[in-house]
Amino acid sequence: MRLYMHGDCLGHVTPPGHPEQVERLRAIERGLAGMEVQRLDCPMGAVEDVLRCHPAAHVERLRRAVPERGWAQVDGDTFLSPGTWAAAMRGVGGICAAVDAVMTGGGRAFVAARPPGHHAERETAMGFCLFGTVAIGAMRALEVHGLSRVAVLDFDVHHGNGTQDLLWDEARVRFVSSHQMPLYPGTGAPEERGAHGQITNLPLRSSSGGEAMRAAWAPVLADLAEWQPELILLSAGFDAHRDDPLAGLNWRTEDFAWLTRAICDLAYQCCGGRVVSSLEGGYDLDALADSVAAHVRELNRA
């Protein structure tokens, strides 16, 4: 199992008290200490890959907005610091390198990079996110590796509105998101199906816990097995954990392990076990460390 990280992702510094903080990656490093994985640096991403999802004007607007010192604010909770551009492009490079490695050599990969990506819409950075990292990875799989069926599965506690927006017209990708509702960003109703009916939203009630999650995901994974995806990409958010301060689905660490194992089982049925996972949310540091460790252990099983 390949683990992609890079020190540049520590250079995206948010204001004091912001939940999407540098310490998230340090917590993940502690959680994964001693785990036998192939550790790789995220390469610097290419703008060409970003442009498969975002227009050039959006990319340039964000690049120019990065401050020389202090912070620039994109919206109420999304900030840029002097190191943000490099961090974001390492995330893009990490997901693309992971897709390339898994497509050429098989196996699974986890990209532990920040800022996250699944709230970034085509022309709007929001919800801590600048570029739709996982959607960018999906488009690379389609356009560079010639795939025709890619599954993007999002289990962050918040709806992946950005991924949905970026893939709304893409018939070659099935996007599934489970999320607490009502909750930020207010999207993700079951009626939001995509231009080709290829989007599945699984809203979950507050405090519904892991049992409701398992009941929601099991039939969807069974349906995907019939569709036979050639690659599975994950938006791996860990903020559904019962200790997370931003939401209240009350999942436990073992729920993340169960879902990861179920997804890996699907991948073995359909696509030779190929799974690429990318970090999204998770804001209680201890819960994040434990949940990522459980996630990576399942990805790392032979």
Kindly list the catalytic residues.
119
Cβ-based burial of 83 (10 A; exposed 0-12, middle 13-18, buried ≥19): middle
Give the other-Cβ count within 10 Å of 161's Cβ: 25
Rounded distance, CA 24 to CA 285, Å? 6
Rounded distance, CA 51 to CA 63, Å? 14
